[in-house]
Amino acid sequence: MPFDGMVVSSIVHELKEKILMGKIDKIYQPENDEIHISIRCFKEKYKLLISASSNHPRIHLTHTAKINPQTPPIFCMLLRKHLQGGRIIDIYQQEFERIVILNIESYDELGVLSIKQLIIEIMGKHSNIILLDPSQNKILDSIKRISGDINRYREILPGKNYIAPPTQGKQNPLHLSFNDFVLKVQEATMGTSIYKAIYTSFQGISPVASREICFLSHIEQDKALVELLDTDYEHLWKTFNKFLCVNNPNPHMVISKDNSEIIDFYPIPLKIYQEIYTSIDFDSMSDLLEQFYIQRDLFDRIKQKSTDLRKLIHHTMQKLLNKKQKLKEELLSAMKAQKYRVYGELLTANLHTIKKGDKSIEVMNFYDENCTTIKIALNEHLTPSQNAQKYFKKYTKSKNAQNEIDTQLKDTDNEITYFENLLQNIENTSDLENIEEIRLELMEEGYIKKKKISSKKNTPSKPMSFISSDGYSILVGKNNKQNDHLTLKIASKKDLWFHTKDIPGSHVIIITNNQEVPQTTILEAAELAAYFSKGKISSNVPVDYTTVKYVKKPSGAKPGMVIYENNKTIYTTPRSNIVEILQMNQSKS
């Protein structure tokens, strides 16, 4: 995601509008690399979030409240000493870099009015928050101290002179002529693609921004510099200038059409994404970043919390698939049992021709329509009758084995389906509570070693709830245990039950209230069943539905596993925004 010069410029513009000349009330440090500053400005209250996280560095206004440590960190105490009670008199971006500087005027302990600078460097793993005394260019401290052992050129330590991050030869794009632009781009190797030449030549231009400039200029982004014509440079220059001169930002988030993934965000709509993705507009850059990082943080935490579960499920499924393959091989061997019965019958019919000590006998196979002869191996130490009984026993044993293997195959298939459902539940989840419920389920089923669990009875989480276009309540289970609870406990016998046909997914229930359900609602419930299944991004997904009274849970079946009858099947292609559509119905009601 490009927290580039354009995003920083947009944030600075917003901060100037809202908190410039604001008074700093309180300062907190809820995380090792994150600062929250409460600000009052023209009777309004704001909270500024500044993060030097290696993964998600940023600065924006926030409504999020975090728990603060009982003992404030040293850097937080220093900020309070120098900045609390101060007034923000200037906010600006360092050239077009990812650096924001806040000039804060405050009184020191001697009552002298002075200016301190809070420098926010948003640079990936090198991000930092630095408190500076600009009168001497001395660093007072930083949220991350960088010693000479780490960086000889640029030490970030108390008492050291502040040195701005190196520009890496990049030029400020805000002060260029056409000739400057061309000459700077042409400093790159002539075989370099144009889009790479642009983002490596100018400050604050991300690869995404560079691709957009090429797209708007109708020039292939991978076109080599050596292939560019003078007219190409003219088109690029005009687009480049227009792209940077954004007076009215229109922040938007780019998401996949099935809403499963955030692709990008930017202060303006990006044309390169319009055909393949959808987008959500926001009123401000802070609102966008707040939403994005809440979702990204939740995504990261869910991913972190579910990593071990995913590994366990994939590992177990692989073992089950190997077991299934082995059982199939054993079944093929067991299916030869009929041959042993034929041998026993033929030996019995020819007992008078067999002598003890014979190693084999060739007899007429009257079970073969062509009446061919067949050679049967004998045990020379057994009597003719005992040899016949030996083959009958082998037949019985193989037949019993075949029945046992059939049973094991069915159990293995059910277990594979169970784990496929678990994996799909994890894929569908958007909350940490659901992950913990899945973990608890695996403990109860004996796949994970049980931990000490509070004796307090856990209340099952509620299923997802939607309202159809006709006003009917539709409930969707989020995990196997919840699917069972929804279908077998919550739903009444006359409610409608939906599930994708032979595809892992959630149980979906329409609360009918003993009324006939309109076809529109049935189609929407089928869409939800397809959307919350492994067939989410497929077309013509088969969805079975029936009345709840025809849905049964076999004795000993695993959570979420049911059988049903008297069903109908609908084929549906889930819309990427079906969840949002039905949630809007819910808010209207």
Residues 419 and 539 in one domain: no
Long-range CB contacts (within 8 A, 24+) of 417-420:
417/504, 417/561, 418/480, 418/558, 418/559, 418/560, 418/561, 419/313, 419/316, 419/317, 419/320, 420/317, 420/504, 420/534
CA dihedral 88, 92, 94, 98 (to 10 degrees): 90
Split at pLDDT 50, 70, 90, the class of 156 is: very high
Q: Give the residue from 354, 424, 416 showing the smallest Cα distance to 391.
A: 354
In a domain, 472, yes or no: yes
3-state secondary structure of 568: strand
Q: Check whether residue 320 and residue 450 sit in a common domain.
A: yes
Beta strands in 367-431 (DSSP E): 373-377
Give me the CATH number covering residue 238.
1.10.8.50
Give a yes or no: residue 152 inside a domain: no
Task: For residues 453 and 468, state if they share a domain.
Answer: no
Which has the higher per-residue pLDDT, 53 or 109?
A: 53
223, 190 in Cβ contact below 8 A? no
Q: Are residues 374 and 268 in the same domain?
A: no
Q: Does 501 have pLDDT greater than 80?
A: yes
Does the residue 295 lie in any domain? Answer: no
Q: Read off the pLDDT band of 479 (50, 70, 90).
A: very high
What letter would DSSP give residue 104?
E
Long-range contacts (CB closer than 8 Å, 24 or more residues apart) made by 184-190: 185/225, 185/233, 185/236, 186/225, 188/225, 189/225, 190/224, 190/225, 190/226
Domain residue limits at 522: 464-588
Give the pTM. 0.64
**Strand, helix or coil for residue 59:** strand
Neighbouring-strand partners of residue 361: 376
Is residue 401 in a domain? yes
Nearest to 243 by CA among 277, 206, 278: 206
Task: Please name the helix (run of DSSP H) or strand (run of DSSP E) that holds residue 182, with its range, or none.
Answer: helix 178-185
Indicate the residue among 281, 301, 321 that finishes a domain. 281
pLDDT at 403: 85
329 and 406 part of one domain: yes
Tell me, yes or no, whether 482 lies in a domain.
yes
Q: Given the structure tokens 């608890």, which residue do they identify?
A: 440
> Do 581 and 467 touch, CB atoms closer than 8 A?
no
456 pLDDT band (50/70/90 cuts)? very low
Could you tell me if residue 51 is inside a domain? yes
Asked if residue 297 belongs to a domain, the reply is no
CA torsion, ordered 301, 305, 310, 316, to nearest 10 deg: 180
Residue type, 417: T
Are residues 327 and 398 located together in one domain of the fold? Answer: yes
The mean per-residue pLDDT over the stretch 389-414 comes to 88
Closest CA to 501 of 548, 540, 452: 540
Q: For residue range 44-63, what is the model confidence (pLDDT) as tens digits?
A: 999 999 999 988 899 999 99
Residues 474 and 448 grouped into a single domain? no
* Number of separate domains in the chain: 4
**Per-residue pLDDT tens over the stretch 359-372:** 899 988 888 777 78
**Of 422, 457, 492, which marks where a domain is finished?**
457
The pLDDT tens digits of the residues spanning 110-140 come to 888 999 999 999 998 999 999 999 999 999 9
User: Do you know the residue count of the chain?
Assistant: 589
pLDDT-derived band at 586, boundaries 50, 70, 90: low
